[in-house]
Structure 1
């Protein structure tokens, strides 16, 4: 009997390949049915029906659920496609000494100035992905991944980064080749429970509340229109994307194992339309490579 916790081999899938990860999903995308025609109106490309736009007032608005999921998925793929750990990369945290600081435009302006100073100090172009995260107080701080384009060794002392940042505390860390950089970073910036976007923001004294619930509540602290992350124009590329049958992808990438992770969730549609399910699988190429070496 086929394993029910797997996508059927004959199903069409969208595959994203980034770093050591192969992600398969039955969400195929395509041209959106709805097209925005004004700030308050949308038109159905098929029927011509005009509907009103639902304006999101909070990042935690239930209508924004899938948008949040998609944002964090894109970020994870982008990190996985560009950062694998090692001597050419650094992971940094940037904070403000005067809290709360809630202006994302100021943060990105401060960050831009910092990057100009760092590139002068290092003497070469540095590619980056920078991610904003609100603390429980609402104050913003940033997580930053840096790398050299020529894969040469990158070293920035803590005190030099603090001088270039000039706004408060900083921390510089090197992630090893053994680290799954995308998963490590995402544990910091998006370990959220998207099924409970109204989760508590503060622990108070209840240490039994899981961290994901606390961070889930922080989603409401992202103001509407705020960019959760930015990337450099040079040196950062998107994950490879393919659309084929699952069987074709498995043959192309020599996948013979069961998925390392499988998830199925239901997408709710407009009133009167049936919901549908999306299945997602993740495979680790690094794990398969290790198993192949051990079997020789």
Structure 2
């Protein structure tokens, strides 16, 4: 029996159709490459498919966040030839209350911490000088004309960062 973890994420299109991103990982080791044309497309039978292996260096959170929130201008405005991106534009196409991802059992969910950055890092035993593994800025214009910037940062492998942080403090 092969034990795998599966994560499927929904991505709405401006046309009203849906696109799926599926991530499959073997619990102990890598899965063999699944050929798009001979395996995935015949199984899916719902339209276009593209299959690629993510590299170990790929930041999966950053990869998904870009696809799930940002939208190329030419997807909304077909006459625009620009390759520019509208940050956060795709968020308006998600229906209220939709669960954007599904996953198999046993996937460890990240721990979320909310608060002021300095205090959260201090509570975790991390230096304020630490660099996030991924950062996402969401800008919002409020009705009164003021602008709000919401910053979400991701820190991978916190136990390793604590060790590095303490070693750095010992050398100071």
Q: Is the aligned partner of 1:138 residue 2:16? A: yes
Note if contact 1:259-1:282 (Cα within 8 Å) is conserved in structure 2. no
Normalization by structure 1: what TM-score?
0.40
Unpaired segments of 5 or more residues in structure 1?
A: 1-122, 193-198, 269-274
* 1:1-296 alignment, distance < 5 Å: 124-149=2-27, 151-155=28-32, 156-158=34-36, 159-191=38-70, 202-208=76-82, 210-212=84-86, 216=89, 218-232=90-104, 234-242=105-113, 246-247=118-119, 249-250=121-122, 252-257=124-129, 280=151, 282=153
Note if contact 1:259-1:283 (Cα within 8 Å) is conserved in structure 2. no
Q: Distance in 1 between matches of 2:106 and 2:120?
A: 30
Normalization by structure 2: what TM-score?
0.63
Note if contact 2:114-2:120 (Cα within 8 Å) is conserved in structure 1. no
Instruction: Name the counterpart of 1:48.
Output: none
- Relative to structure 1, the CA distance from residue 264 to residue 131 in structure 2 (aligned partners, 3 Å threshold; closer, same or farther) is closer
Q: Distance in 2 between matches of 1:127 and 1:250?
A: 33
> How far 1:280 sits from its partner (Å)?
4.2
3-state DSSP class of the match of 1:171?
coil
Q: Distance in 1 between matches of 2:119 and 2:69?
A: 31
Residues 233-281 of structure 1, C-alpha deviation per residue, up to 9 Å, x if partnerless? x13122124578835733744325165559697897xxxxxx9x88646
Residues 121-140 of structure 1, C-alpha deviation per residue, up to 9 Å, x if partnerless? xx523222211112232221
3-state DSSP class of the match of 1:240?
coil
State the number of aligned residues. 154
